[in-house]
Every structure is written in C-alpha cells, then in structure tokens.
Amino acid sequence: MKLDPATATFLGTGVSLDAGIVHPSGDPITVRAWGARPNDDGTTVRVLLPTDDPDTVEHVHPGGLIALVASDVITFRSIQLKGRVVAHEPESEADEALHTAYVDAFAAAVQEADGTPESLVRRLVPAGRAAVTFTVEQAFDQTPGPGAGGRLEPGPTDGPRQRA
C-alpha cells in the first residue's frame, strides 16, 4: 500500500518508535527504533534499529516480517505499520542525519510531555544502528481507544478503505 502524506509526515516527527521483529524461534522481540523515513511514494519505510544488542537486529533479514508503531508522546496519537523487509544495510550518512534529527525531536517531545530532562532521554540512544527497509503492507490507527486497530486510509493510488 501507499502511505498518505500526513502519515508519512507523522513518522518524521519526534514520535516514540518501537519495532516488532521475529526471533528464529518464532517468538516476538520488541526493539526501540531510532528514526524512520518513508520513501518518496510512501510504499516503503526505512527504519533505524540498534545494533548494540546482537540478539535483535541480526534476526532481521530480507523477506522477514516486521511491525513498527509510532506514537506521539503528547497526544498519544499512534499508528502501526506492518510489512516485509526488503533490505538490511549499514547506516548511511543520510541515516545518521535522520537519526540525529530524530533524537533531538524525540527528546524535546518527551521533555515537553512530562518534564523529563532531554539528557535523561538520550541515555536510551544506542551506539550503533542498521537501516532496515520494509514494504508497507498494512497500516493501522493505534491511538488508544475503541477505534484502535482500524485500518488507515491508503494513499490516493490505492484501493478503497477497509476495516481490520
């Protein structure tokens, strides 16, 4: 599917990012993500996952399944994207710039939300990251409430809206 521009923009703000990946045993693994950017037509998302913990990103391979949730720490607006990994690469210079901007925005958002000093939030930042690109196959509204889980409106070139 194709992400609409507003959803794509949302990913680029200081939202909390968490990915769900799958261990070879079949069990899920939660891992915090450190920047995400859709491609120009909104059909794929490049997300930065930490390499500090070898038991997480090493299990991400092309063809594998992945989920990413993005939540505004002030409004709680949340979306979840699900898809299939198409690339797992070392972080590029552009990715490093994305990561730096993301950390700045996220730390500022958390401080605005609850007063947590930005320096404390930055203690979460991993030393190294890898860039994982996945196709967006499904997108959901994950905002807390009875509407959570409803499918998001696809982009203008996609088909009609569906419900989960």
Binding interface with other proteins (CB under 8 A): 16, 18-22, 26-32, 50, 52-55, 65-69, 71, 76, 78, 80, 82, 116, 120-127, 142, 144-146, 148-149, 164
Name the residue nearer to other proteins (CB basis): 12 or 126.
126
Q: How far is the CB of 29 from other proteins (least distance, A)?
A: 5
- The residues near 114 (Cβ < 8 Å, ≥ 6 apart) are none
Name the residue nearer to other proteins (CB basis): 26 or 156.
26
What is the distance between the alpha carbons of residues 94 and 10, in angstroms, rounded to a whole number? 19
Q: How far is the CB of 44 from other proteins (least distance, A)?
A: 17
CA dihedral in degrees (85, 140, 110, 6; nearest 10)? Answer: 90
Residue 97's alpha-carbon distances to 34, 52, 62, 91, 162, in angstroms, are 11, 19, 24, 10, 36
Residue 148, CA atoms < 13 Å, CB-side half-sphere:
11
* DSSP structural state of residue 151: B
For the chain, the residue count is 164
Q: How far is the CB of 65 from other proteins (least distance, A)?
A: 5
Name the residue nearer to other proteins (CB basis): 146 or 156.
146
Name the residue nearer to other proteins (CB basis): 107 or 131.
107
Q: How far is the CB of 40 from other proteins (least distance, A)?
A: 26
Q: How far is the CB of 140 from other proteins (least distance, A)?
A: 8
Name the residue nearer to other proteins (CB basis): 8 or 141.
141
Q: Which helix (H) or strand (E) holds 28?
A: strand 28-32
